[in-house]
Amino acid sequence: MFLKFNKEKLKLLDFLINLLKKLALILFIPSILLNVFLGYKTLNQRQANLVKVIGVIDGDTLVLENKTRLRLRHIDAPELANCGGEEAKQFVSALINGKSIAIEEQIPDQMGRAMGLVYVDKILVNEKLLEFGWARYHSDKTTKTVELKKVADTAKTNKLGIFSKLCFSDTNLEKPNCIIKGNLENKDKSGRKLYYLPNCAQYKFVQVEKDLGERWFCTEKEAIEAGYIKAGTCP
């Protein structure tokens, strides 16, 4: 009697397990189909709103077929005259110049210039620039904020692009006798220009990041003529 009761319980348990599996499958399939549909819909929307790129000004600014300019969101590429500027421009040109792009999450910046996330096919151009280290991450709020910040941090950790010895140094390998470090206060392009001598308190911690326009000097006179002032930590 007890054995028979146990068998009936096991049959009921098996039935319930199989029923739950079928229900899970029934609920899972629509979810897959919905994701496929949304992905297809997004791709179609991009294809329906394509615009051709007729020029690349620098690593973060494009010229579109209607002669308007578009900046890349989350991207701060070097000025052309600075280290990495030409490389950033060439990188973007190779990806999109002469091609049709899709623009998403477009807004005006503080100066009224258009900026957005740019796709060529399924490639997010903004992300590729950061991934290979040819631009600095610019804080912004989009649907890609978290992943773009992560990609940018990885490129910096791995010393790629402008974060490599090409633009980033604490020793002047090109001119070993020119050892005065020209730096932007707080790494802000609009900040004060400071220079550090070897006897300055923080000299050994100062990095020269040439993509920002920072540079090495051979003499104090040269630094002063370039608009730099002696750092407050220097004697």
The band of 22, judged by pLDDT with boundaries at 50, 70 and 90, is: low
Q: Are residues 60 and 124 in the same domain?
A: yes
- Which residue, of 110, 139, 163, is where some domain finishes? 163
Please tell me the predicted confidence (pLDDT) of residue 178: 97
- Domain end, chosen from 163, 184, 205, is at 163
- Same-domain pairing of 153 and 187: no
Q: Are 153 and 214 contained in the same domain?
A: no
Q: Can you give the residue range of the structural domain that contains 117?
A: 49-163
Task: Note whether 66 and 111 are same-domain residues.
Answer: yes
Q: 80 and 173 in one domain?
A: no
| pLDDT tens-place string over residues 117-145 | 999 989 999 999 999 999 999 999 999 99
Say if 40 falls within a structural domain.
no
- Which of 114, 134, 163 is at the close of a domain? 163
Give DSSP secondary structure letters for the chain.
-HHHHHHHHHHHHHHHHHHHHHHHHHHHHHHHHHHHHHHHHHHHHHHHTEEEEEEEEETTEEEETTS-EEEETTEEPPPTTSTTHHHHHHHHHHHHTTSEEEEEEEEE-TTS-EEEEEEETTEEHHHHHHHTTSSEE----STTHHHHHHHHHHHHHTT-GGGSTTTEESS-SS-TT--EEEEEGGG-TTS-EEEE-TTSTTGGG--EEGGGT-EEESSHHHHHHTT-EE-TT--
Do both 141 and 188 map to the same domain? no
**16 assigned to some structural domain:** no
Domain count of the fold of the chain? 2
Same domain (yes/no): 207, 154: no
Question: Taking the complete model, does pTM exceed 0.85, yes or no?
Answer: no
Confidence of residue 66 (pLDDT cuts 50, 70, 90): confident
Question: How much is the average pLDDT of 42-65?
Answer: 82
> Do residues 145 and 53 share a domain?
yes
Same domain, 118 and 190: no
Evaluate whether residue 5 is within a structural domain. no
Rounded to 5 degrees, φ, ψ at 93 are -60, -45
Residues 6 or more apart whose Cβ sits within 8 Å of residue 196 = 180, 181, 183, 202, 203, 206, 231, 233, 234
Q: What is the mean pLDDT of residues 2-15?
A: 58
11 part of a folded domain: no
Given a contact cutoff of 8 angstroms between Cβ atoms, the answer to whether 135 and 101 are in contact is: no
Average pLDDT over residues 10-36: 60
Q: Looking at the domain assignment, is residue 83 inside a domain? A: yes
Evaluate whether residue 65 is within a structural domain. yes
Residue 20 lies in a domain: no
What CATH number is associated with residue 147? 2.40.50.90
Q: Does 159 share its domain with 184? A: no
For the stretch 145-179, pLDDT in tens is: 999 999 999 999 999 999 999 999 999 999 999 99
- The encoded tokens of residue 190 equal 């609009």
